[in-house]
């Protein structure tokens, strides 16, 4: 499965998630939507490994993150939801943790830094918080061992949803966890090929679809 196919799966899943969030919250659309973040986290690692200029790559992501925050915030305000920073900020912090990991020789210090970046992500309320940032790092750290990657990824999201499963809605959040773990099926099928070149597909689709959903919300 090429990188292009992974992106398409991620985009379709993300669209389902945001439609569910806006119009049918706690629906099966949101379960389908859980596939999106792990795929884009994995894509972020692929992009990092293949970029020729990490600094330029990060600047581009930061610009699009701030652009995307406008429709993202408008949608959240319209739906009367607590404001967070969109998932691109999560990916940026995840990439920073990878960059620092490659610059620091001491593994213990590296993992302390990772936890600090994760805590920062939770404090400034990036989407998925510390769990999203840790996921991106794990995908990089275990890039050559898919079994360990899946194991630690599963543990990360089991911890994230455990209290929800126990105390809030066991069936729904078990499905949410299952939807999240399902993302590893297409990830494990990645064949290290780019496929159709779509350099800015996600960067353009992300803010545009949020804007369209927001406009539909205010019209309805």
**pLDDT tens sequence for the chain (220 residues):** 999 999 999 999 999 999 999 999 889 999 999 999 999 999 999 999 999 899 999 999 999 999 999 999 999 999 999 999 999 999 999 999 999 999 998 888 988 999 999 999 999 999 999 999 999 999 999 999 999 999 999 999 999 999 999 999 999 999 999 999 999 999 999 999 988 888 788 899 999 999 999 999 999 8
Name the H helices within the chain.
3-23, 28-33, 36-50, 54-78, 87-103, 107-123, 129-141, 146-163, 170-182, 184-188, 201-219
Tally Cβ neighbours within 10 Å of residue 14: 23
Residue 85: strand pairing partners: 126
Would you kindly state where each structural domain of the chain is located, as residue ranges?
3-219
Task: Look up the pTM and report it.
Answer: 0.95
């Amino acid at each position: 499965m090429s990188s292009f196919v992974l992106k398409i799966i991620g985009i379709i899943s993300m669209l389902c998630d945001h439609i569910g969030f806006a119009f049918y919250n706690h629906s099966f659309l949101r379960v389908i939507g859980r596939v999106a973040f792990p795929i884009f986290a994995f894509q972020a690692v692929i992009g990092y490994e293949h970029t020729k200029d990490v600094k330029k790559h990060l600047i581009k992501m930061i610009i699009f993150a701030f652009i995307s925050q406008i429709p993202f915030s408008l949608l959240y305000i319209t739906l009367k939801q607590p404001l967070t920073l969109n998932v691109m900020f999560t990916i940026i912090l995840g990439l920073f943790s990878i960059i620092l990991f490659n610059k620091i020789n001491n593994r213990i210090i590296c993992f302390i830094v990772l936890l600090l970046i994760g805590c920062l992500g939770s404090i400034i309320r990036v989407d998925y918080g510390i769990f999203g940032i840790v996921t991106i790092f794990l995908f990089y750290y275990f890039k050559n061992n898919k079994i360990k990657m899946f194991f630690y990824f599963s543990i990360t999201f089991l911890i994230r949803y455990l209290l929800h499963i126990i105390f809030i809605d066991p069936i729904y959040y078990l499905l949410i966890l299952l939807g999240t773990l399902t993302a590893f099926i297409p990830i494990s099928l990645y064949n290290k090929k780019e496929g159709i070149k779509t350099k800015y597909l996600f960067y353009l689709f992300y803010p545009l679809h949020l804007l369209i959903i927001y406009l539909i919300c205010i019209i309805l």
